[in-house]
């Protein structure tokens, strides 16, 4: 068992040909929430989606990045979570003031779609998949997506608080019915008894023992989930240079500074007139590090 406080731990019910995973995000989830004042219902949707992203992102076999976006016409217009094959996670929610006091996917997101983007270095273009939002919870939405995309039934149970986000994932594999015709139904019924406080408060092994104590469970080593997206002043500098000096000077004249917020990585960049001048210095071939 890993000592990490944010991890994905996979398991296999050998005799039933059912696989699964438990995700628990602790320090990573708190880092994602830092300096963000989401209403609790918005926070919980983002946390549940972050935990699900760890399940799906953990299946990436090559270097790449998976971005999952829920877009709708409700008080929450966008939920986006981004994860690499190394389980480096980030994400944010775009919500209006009317999101407070509303609960559930239907009330917060409304009608919309799920967009998944897979960006790998060897691909000329990212692969994108659009699917309608079907389901009234984050778990149900991704159950539907996984069942359709992988042609194997899946079950997801999620939970979130201000300190932790968690997920229990199960998937029926091709030989499950041959090994035990009733196995999938039995296991999903047992999994449905898991309580949010158990997902958020118990370690993976304790959850599996509680749910499946009569089954043979093979538990694999946990993989750490991280949130490491440092400031990238050079990238910001290149973007600003592409806008041109005149446009930046106009912003400085109006606001006295240039303020850029990277919502996904949760960073703020502030540039003064001197910083902008440095970007366009005649002897600077490439944007130099400002800070």
The beta strand positions in 52-153, using DSSP E, are 65-72, 76-84, 89-95, 112-119, 127-132
Q: Give the pTM.
A: 0.87
Element (H, E) at 142: helix 138-150
CATH tag for 7-224 (out of 3.55.30.10, 3.40.190.10, 3.10.310.10, 3.40.50.620)? 3.55.30.10
The residue count for the chain: 291
In eight-state DSSP terms, residue 164 is -
* Domain residue limits, the chain: 7-224, 233-279
Residue-level pLDDT at 1: 41
Residue-level pLDDT at 103: 85
Q: What is d(CA 50, CA 68) in angstroms, rounded to the nearest whole number?
A: 9
What do you get for the CA distance between the two ends of the chain, in Å? 39
Q: What is d(CA 267, CA 231) in angstroms, rounded to the nearest whole number?
A: 7
Residue-level pLDDT at 234: 85
Per-10-residue mean pLDDT for the chain, 291 residues long?
78 96 97 92 96 94 92 93 96 89 88 92 86 91 91 96 97 95 97 97 96 95 94 85 89 89 82 87 50 52
Task: Look at residue 246 and give its three-state secondary structure.
Answer: helix
Residue-level pLDDT at 265: 83
Residue-level pLDDT at 13: 96
Topology of the domain comprising 233-279: CBS domain Like (3.90.1280)
The beta strand positions in the chain, using DSSP E, are 7-13, 18-25, 65-72, 76-84, 89-95, 112-119, 127-132, 154-160, 165-172, 217-219, 223-224, 258-262, 267-271
CA 74 to chain centre: 20
Task: Look at residue 144 and give its three-state secondary structure.
Answer: helix
Q: Which stretches of 34-130 are DSSP H helices?
A: 40-57, 104-108
């Amino acid at each position: 068992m890993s000592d990490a406080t944010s991890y994905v731990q996979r398991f296999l019910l050998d005799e039933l040909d059912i696989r699964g995973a438990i995700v628990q995000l602790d320090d990573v989830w708190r880092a994602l929430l830092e300096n963000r004042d989401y209403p609790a219902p918005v926070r919980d949707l983002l946390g549940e989606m972050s935990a699900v992203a760890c399940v799906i992102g953990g299946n990436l076999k090559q270097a790449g990045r998976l971005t999952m976006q829920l877009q709708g016409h409700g008080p929450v217009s966008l939920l986006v979570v981004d994860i690499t094959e190394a389980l480096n996670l980030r994400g944010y929610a775009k919500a209006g003031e009317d999101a407070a006091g509303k609960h559930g996917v239907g009330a917060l997101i409304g009608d919309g779609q799920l967009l998944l983007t897979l960006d790998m270095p060897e691909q000329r273009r990212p692969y994108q998949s659009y699917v309608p939002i079907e389901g009234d919870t984050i778990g149900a939405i991704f159950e539907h997506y996984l069942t359709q995309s992988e042609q194997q039934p899946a079950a997801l149970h999620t939970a979130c608080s201000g300190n932790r986000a968690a997920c229990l994932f199960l998937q029926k594999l091709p030989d499950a019915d041959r090994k035990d015709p009733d196995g999938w139904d039995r296991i999903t019924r047992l999994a449905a008894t898991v309580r949010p406080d158990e997902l958020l408060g118990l370690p993976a092994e304790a959850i599996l023992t509680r749910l499946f104590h009569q089954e043979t469970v093979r538990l694999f080593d946990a993989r750490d989930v991280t949130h490491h997206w440092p400031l990238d002043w050079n990238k910001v500098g290149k973007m600003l240079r592409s806008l041109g000096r005149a446009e930046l000077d106009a912003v400085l004249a109006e606001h006295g500074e240039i303020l850029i917020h990277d919502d996904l990585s949760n960073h703020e960049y502030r540039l003064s007139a001197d910083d902008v001048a440095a970007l366009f210095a005649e002897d600077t071939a490439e944007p130099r590090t400002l800070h």
